[in-house]
Structure formats: structure tokens, C-alpha cells
């Protein structure tokens, strides 16, 4: 995949996430559908994994990984970035007062789980085509 087409995919995905979040705020979708928040966390984790890949492979940073540990280093780095952004988002939700009055811990755990699942799907999509294929 070319750099330009990959960046278009990233832009389309972030616009979808942004549009869904705007629609959710406008039409109270987070409160109407208990699962709607999970969809956005999944898409957010997916986007973070794809952006991480984009930065690693198209910025030239990939060359700094050693051949033996390359696959595992990239996997760990992408997972850490997905979890880190997910945790920062949960802190942002808490500070903004956008957390449920009851069941906050369960909501946070589900949100982080969906971030990780989305990030894992993103990693699997790119690893099949790029990371593992280049070995």
C-alpha cells in the first residue's frame, strides 16, 4: 500500500470517528445505546494502531529496530500506544464529567478492553501484509 492511500484511509477513519462522536452528542446516542461507546473505543484503538504503523513505517523509524526483535518490538510499542491513549482518554472523560454515576470502573474496563481489541485488529491487519511479510 502506498503512503498516500494509507493516509487517506487514516483520514477517512478519523472523520468517521469524529462524525459518530458528533452524532452521539447531538442525538444522545451514548445514553440510548449502551454499546455505542464501545464501537467508538474499538474504532479509536484501530485508528491508533494504524497511525502508529504509519509513523513507524513511513517515517523511517522502523530501521532502528534490530532484525531479531523487530516483530516483537513493534507489537509491544503499538500495544503500549493504544493502551496509553486509551488511559489518557479515560482520564479526559473523568475530568470532563462524562462518566456514569454508577459502574464507572466497569465502564472504564470495557472501554480499555475495546481499545485493546481495536488496536489488536489494526495490528493484525497491518502485520499480515507488512511486518510479517517482510521477514
Across all residues in the chain, what is the average pLDDT? 85
Angstrom CA distances, 119 to 33, 47, 76, stand at 23, 7, 11
Q: What pLDDT was estimated at residue 11? A: 96
Residue 106, class by beta-carbon neighbours within 10 Å (0-12 exposed, 13-18 middle, 19+ buried)? exposed
Angstrom CA distances, 64 to 22, 80, 111, 130, stand at 39, 18, 32, 17
CA–CA dist 124, 126 (Å, integer): 6
pLDDT of residue 51 exceeding 90, the answer is: yes
Question: What is the end-to-end Cα distance of the chain in Å, rounded?
Answer: 17
Q: Where are the domains of the chain?
A: 3-131
CA–CA dist 30, 66 (Å, integer): 44
Lowest mean pLDDT across 24-38, 51-65, 81-95, 105-119: 51-65
Mean pLDDT, range 46-70, rounded to an integer: 73
Q: What pLDDT was estimated at residue 68? A: 41
User: In the structure, what pLDDT confidence band is assigned to residue 16 with cuts at 50, 70 and 90?
Assistant: very high
Lowest mean pLDDT across 39-43, 64-68, 99-103, 113-117: 64-68
Q: What pLDDT was estimated at residue 45? A: 97
CA–CA dist 103, 82 (Å, integer): 23
pTM of the model: 0.86
Residue 126, class by beta-carbon neighbours within 10 Å (0-12 exposed, 13-18 middle, 19+ buried)? buried
Amino acid at each position: 500500500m502506498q503512503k498516500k492511500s494509507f493516509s487517506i484511509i487514516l483520514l477517512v477513519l478519523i472523520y468517521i470517528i469524529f462524525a459518530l462522536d458528533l452524532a452521539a452528542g447531538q442525538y444522545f446516542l451514548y445514553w440510548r445505546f449502551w454499546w455505542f461507546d464501545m464501537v467508538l473505543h474499538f474504532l479509536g484503538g484501530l485508528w491508533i494502531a494504524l497511525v502508529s504503523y504509519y509513523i513507524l513505517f513511513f517515517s523511517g523509524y522502523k530501521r532502528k529496530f534490530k532484525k531479531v526483535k523487530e516483530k516483537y518490538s513493534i507489537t509491544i510499542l503499538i500495544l503500549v500506544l493504544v493502551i496509553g491513549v486509551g488511559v489518557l482518554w479515560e482520564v479526559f472523560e473523568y475530568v470532563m464529567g462524562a462518566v456514569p454515576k454508577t459502574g464507572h470502573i466497569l465502564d472504564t474496563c470495557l472501554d480499555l478492553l475495546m481499545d485493546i481489541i481495536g488496536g489488536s485488529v489494526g495490528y493484525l491487519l497491518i502485520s499480515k501484509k507488512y511486518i510479517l511479510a517482510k521477514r
